[in-house]
Amino acid sequence: MKRDALLNFAAISIASVMRYPYTITILENYLDKDNLGKAFFTHFDKLDARYEGSGFYEGGGIEGLLRRIYRNDSYPSLLRGYLREVIPKHLYYIPQGGIINCELFDYELYHNINKLLGLLENNSDHCYINITQQNHLSSNAILQESDLIVINLFQNPNYLDNFFKNYYSLIPKALFIVGDYSPKSFMSCKRMARLYDIPLEDIIPIPYNENFHEACKYGAAKEFLNCNFFCNIENANYIFIQGIRKAVYMIFKRIIESSGTDKKDLINCGT
């Protein structure tokens, strides 16, 4: 389920800049070998070191960027050296260096999150952050700062009961994606809406798509979306693509309705 949510996030990020003329920077608030970079790039095993420095974990990656911010070395153009371009002039990813442990990374992100978000706002129209639901300091801080939260749900009654028991307060500023969606499941979108008092239009089903998952294994997520974004109803990928397109439409509809200003953070709550 975790990977399904991650890849839906990747697809929505790509589709966002295919559909709307914005620049978007994306990142994760956790360290994991199975990350967004694997879906976006081929041979993404080693990080390009674009900043020449010395000392503890200097160099490329989100960890190095946080260390520079911590040192108050956060001039406006700093971010450029830490970005990997996914789609030219539109979609950028801040990769992971994987050179510190997860607990230390979470601690440093938590203490530097406001400065990081300020830097991102000055360099992009929107920021998408894929966060973990685990007990991370930075997850709670990011959720508090977010204007819109996109939550990945799954059709498991126990999971859903537990989620809404613990995260009910997030509903007013949330959209819900149901990953690996099956219309035959007992827990349909209509049932979720009724049981948990959610507007049905705020729940977006996205079925599992084997072709997309296979493309992501080879860093070809953007190529898959580019080939299938306008596919017709007879295409095997049509239902999946329509789910992604609807998610993007609803995200930007909510962003516009929320404040009338374009520079809003979109936070994706991963599972």
Q: Please write the tens of the pLDDT for every residue from 9-24.
A: 999 999 999 999 999 9
Q: Please write the tens of the pLDDT for every residue from 168-201.
A: 888 999 999 999 999 999 999 999 999 999 999 9
Q: The whole model's pTM is what?
A: 0.90
Q: In 160-194, which positions are buried (b, 16+ CB within 10 angstroms) versus exposed (e)?
A: beebbeeeeebbeebbbbbbbbeeebebbbeebbe
Q: Is 21 exposed, middle or buried (0-12, 13-18, 19+ CB in 10 A)?
A: exposed
Closest CA to 154 of 11, 270, 10, 16: 270
Strands 264-269 and 174-179: unpaired
Q: Is 125 exposed, middle or buried (0-12, 13-18, 19+ CB in 10 A)?
A: middle
Return the SS3 of 14: helix
Q: Cα separation of 78 and 74, whole Å?
A: 6
H, E, C per residue of 177-203: EEECCCCCCCCCHHHHHHHHCCCHHHE
Contact status, residue 149 vs residue 143, Cβ threshold 8 Å? yes
Pick the CATH number of 2-269 from 3.40.640.10, 3.40.50.300, 1.10.8.640, 3.40.50.800: 3.40.50.300
How do the pLDDT tens digits run along the chain, 271 residues long?
578 899 999 999 999 999 999 999 999 999 998 899 999 998 765 544 444 443 445 556 899 999 999 988 867 788 988 999 999 999 999 999 867 888 899 999 999 999 999 999 999 999 999 998 767 899 999 998 998 999 999 999 999 999 999 888 889 999 999 999 999 999 999 999 999 999 999 999 999 999 999 999 999 999 999 999 999 999 999 999 999 999 999 999 998 887 654 444 444 544 3
Closest CA to 211 of 203, 220, 200, 201: 220
Return the SS3 of 226: helix
Q: Give the domain ranges of the chain.
A: 2-269
Contact status, residue 51 vs residue 59, Cβ threshold 8 Å? yes
Return the SS3 of 19: helix
Q: Which amino acid, one-letter code, is at 78?
A: L
Q: Cα separation of 229 and 240, whole Å?
A: 10
Q: Please write the tens of the pLDDT for every residue from 148-177.
A: 999 999 999 999 999 999 888 889 999 999
